[in-house]
């Protein structure tokens, strides 16, 4: 288990991160969504996030990487909010390897995202999380996020509720 004192760096993603990001996605999504998103759909989503997919995403920008003691351990994708509304910035995804969760690294990555969005003069922040992903909801509530909306997303026959958390 890592402690808060481990060397932590948050930086923009680079092409050499693609393979590690693919593994982080696989491990974090399997842990977070197994039993929530139907198996067939979850596995398909994981399989599509290949190193080539990540290489393309890295080139488009809007990706921060969390590196701990030289190991890529998490990432966040962020940018302008996808929906019109009072919140101009959005964190699309924020995930850590399960071995690096619960020691304050997610908070560091979240705050780096806020700083980055503020630097782009995007005022207000919104994040969407599946309602059944209680760890994510608790994480955003502890960061001061308040529920401001809900919608649903279909995964085959399953219709899953998503909650929007926001910060002014």
How long, in residues, is the chain?
Answer: 168
In a domain, 62, yes or no: yes
pLDDT digits (tens, 9 = 90+) for 119-153: 999 999 999 999 999 999 999 999 999 999 999 99
pLDDT at 2: 46
Identify the CATH number of the domain in which residue 77 sits: 3.40.630.30
Number of domains in the chain: 1
In a domain, 162, yes or no: yes
3-11: average pLDDT: 75
In a domain, 109, yes or no: yes
In a domain, 29, yes or no: yes
In a domain, 138, yes or no: yes
Contacts of 86 (CB under 8 A, 6+ apart): 124
pLDDT at 71: 95
104-109: average pLDDT: 97
In a domain, 3, yes or no: no
pLDDT at 61: 87
Q: What is the residue range of 132's domain?
A: 8-167
State yes or no: pLDDT of 31 exceeds 80. yes
In a domain, 157, yes or no: yes
pLDDT at 6: 58
Averaged confidence pLDDT in the chain: 94
pLDDT at 95: 98
Q: Which of 70, 98, 76 is nearest to 9 (CA)?
A: 70
CB 142: neighbour CB atoms within 10 A?
A: 11
In a domain, 41, yes or no: yes
100-123: average pLDDT: 96
Backbone torsion region of residue 102, taken as left when φ is above 0, otherwise alpha when ψ lies between -120 and 50, otherwise beta: left
pLDDT at 153: 95
Residue 4: pLDDT band (50, 70, 90) is very low
């Amino acid at each position: 288990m890592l402690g808060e004192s481990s060397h932590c760096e948050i930086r923009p993603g680079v092409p050499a991160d693609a393979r590690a990001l693919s593994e982080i996605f696989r491990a974090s999504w399997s842990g977070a969504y197994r039993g929530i998103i139907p198996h067939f759909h979850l596995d398909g989503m994981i399989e599509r996030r290949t190193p080539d997919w990540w290489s393309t995403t890295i080139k488009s920008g809007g990706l921060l990487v969390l590196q701990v003691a030289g190991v890529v351990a998490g990432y966040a994708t962020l940018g302008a909010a996808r929906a019109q509304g009072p919140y101009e910035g959005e964190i699309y995804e924020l995930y850590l390897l399960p071995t690096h969760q619960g020691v304050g690294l997610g908070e560091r990555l979240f705050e780096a995202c806020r700083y980055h969005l503020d630097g782009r003069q995007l005022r207000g922040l919104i994040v969407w999380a599946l309602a059944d992903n209680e760890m994510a909801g608790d994480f955003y509530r502890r960061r001061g996020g308040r529920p401001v909306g809900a919608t649903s997303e279909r995964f085959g026959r399953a219709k899953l509720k998503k909650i929007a958390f926001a910060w002014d």
